[in-house]
Amino acid sequence: MSISLRTCRKCETEKPISEYEPTTPGNWRWACRTCRNHQRNAGRIYKSVAKLTPEERREKSLANLAKIRRPPPLTPEEVEERRKERQRRNIERYHTDPEYRAGRLASIYRYQKSEHARPKRRKLKLESRHRRRAALRGSSGRYTEAEFAAKLKRWKYRCHWCGCRLTPEITQRDHLIALSAGGENHIGNIVPSCATCNARKGAKAPWEFMPGRLL
């Protein structure tokens, strides 16, 4: 006597017809008993969780997380020791493995040409150009990138003239008294400005460009 088989649409396996629940004479459920039991249990769990309040759900989640065994967190001394050990291995490999050294040099070259390093190069180039212009006009003074960053933070990352929000793409350094008008290149004569205001101001004095603006 051959046993009739039926394919479960849930687990997609062939099982005997006895593994299915009958609905009407000659018809059976589309899923086997095992899949149906899994589905019922999942529904019970979902309904039990849905009845919980947000505080009870949080407590249950924390209790489940507490059951997971995690390694103890590293101390700051252990983190620093691992960092130094990894750095030592990388340096040793750099001097002994030519392929690794070539890969590192190639990655450094790619980074220097990437979009991430471009703002840094632009800032250094802008600072050197200001120093060169000041030297050609006999102006004194010099500022660092840290001083301009501190001034930009003090201005709350807004343009000195129009007050618009400054982003790295539009942030420029404007001399209150232009270098061409005898201004100096120290940080006291420099304010953060947007590209539009810097272009409109040009070599004008602050009281000529925006009379009502306090310095």
Task: Let me know whether 137 and 170 are in one domain.
Answer: yes
For the chain, the distance separating the N- and C-terminal CA atoms, rounded to the nearest angstrom, is 102
Interhelix angle 98-112/76-96, rounded to 10 degrees, is 110
The DSSP-derived string for 36-105 is: HHHHHHHHHHHHHHHTS-HHHHHHHHHHHHHHS--PPPPPHHHHHHHHHHHHHHHHHHHHH-HHHHHHHH
pLDDT of residue 213: 66
Number of domains the chain is built from: 3
pLDDT of residue 85: 92
Share above pLDDT 70 across residues of the chain, in percent, rounded to a whole number: 78
Structure tokens at 27: 């018809």
Residues 6+ apart with CB under 8 A from 198: 172, 174
The model's pTM is 0.41
Whether residue 140 is predicted with pLDDT greater than 80 in this model: the reply is no
Whether residue 119 is predicted with pLDDT greater than 70 in this model: the reply is no
Can you give the residue range of the structural domain that contains 38? 1-48
Strand partners, 14: 7
In a domain, 189, yes or no: yes
Task: Let me know whether 147 and 204 are in one domain.
Answer: yes
Instruction: Output 196 or 121, whichever has higher pLDDT.
Output: 196
In a domain, 78, yes or no: no
Task: Let me know whether 29 and 14 are in one domain.
Answer: yes
Strand partners, 15: 6
CATH of the domain at 182: 3.40.1800
